[in-house]
Amino acid sequence: MTTCSMTLKRATRPALLVGLVGILAACASEPHQYAQPTQSSKTVPSEYQARDDDGKDIPAVNPKYLVERNRRQIVPYHGPEPVGTIVVDPYARFLYYITAPGQAERYGVAVGRDGKGFSGDATIQRKQEYPSWTPTQNMIKEDPDLYGPLKDGLPGGLDNPLGARALYLYKDGKDTYYRIHGTMDPSSIGRATSAGCIRLFNQDIIDLFNKIPKGTEVKVRNREESLDMEGPVVQLHSGYVVSAYNQVAISEDQKAWEAGLIPDPNKVEQEQHEASVAMAEQVGASGETAQSPDCGYPGTAPCTDGTTASN
């Protein structure tokens, strides 16, 4: 059984910052098909622009995170799953929603440590807008400095690690503890993260959430299925993955690494963890919990009487 954990990185509440801060993946066959999969978009496409979500202001996605593999798009799909199925490939860091025979909508995802802890078939039995989040006892045991102060959880909102929406996977009527959800850290999409399950840009999880009903079937690929369907991939120093055939991207990434243009990911993760622990202590001291009302903060609706939550 897998349990989705989260890492604090950044977010805003009054008077304090709260933050929730490889590897195989895929593409396919011919090298010329993968010229610039890590090239960022120069502008923000309409689907990733800022939007109002029932009183919450979802910011636009920074175009530098909208690399080709991360952007939502319609693609050919040749897997065996029927129309209406969600297919998660944690190794290729793709999520497919099959919309027609031979066709799917593809989303880029971030994959946490627990994103590879489950494979097989499941069903979405719960959908939640702005879900609250509480660390499990196992998470607290593994990282007491980070999760101990947050043992009572966080209310739903844009500074919650589950983001704007969450889809909960069940198998044989039991919760798998595997989640497909939004994020408060758009820079993580397309990369491997130290914690969490499968996260999408908030704009993308809202789009998917609105399209699929409860009861939707989900297939989570294992490593062998990923290799069979997507082909071999490599993880770049930048944290993104590309086809193993894409020598252009691999060479450019290596040159940038040797020139010192890409920070050491281990050092970055250590610094983020240290900052997260400090922020977690602040949040724990604030008295805010998963039962706290989500209102009166940036990105949320105002409280009408000091106690009423906006969701």
Which one of 4, 27, 78, 197 is the catalytic residue? 197
Is position 197 annotated as part of the catalytic site?
yes
Cα separation, 283 vs 278, whole angstroms: 9
DSSP SS3 for 278:
helix
Is position 181 annotated as part of the catalytic site?
yes
Backbone angles phi, psi at 269, to 5 degrees: -65, -40
Cα separation, 110 vs 90, whole angstroms: 8
Contact predicate 180/155, CB 8 Å: no
Cα separation, 155 vs 176, whole angstroms: 22
Cα separation, 207 vs 166, whole angstroms: 12
1, two tokens: 């059984």
Cα separation, 55 vs 45, whole angstroms: 22
CA–chain centroid gap for 178, Å, is 12
Which one of 27, 32, 78, 181 is the catalytic residue? 181
Q: What residues are annotated to the active site?
A: 181, 197
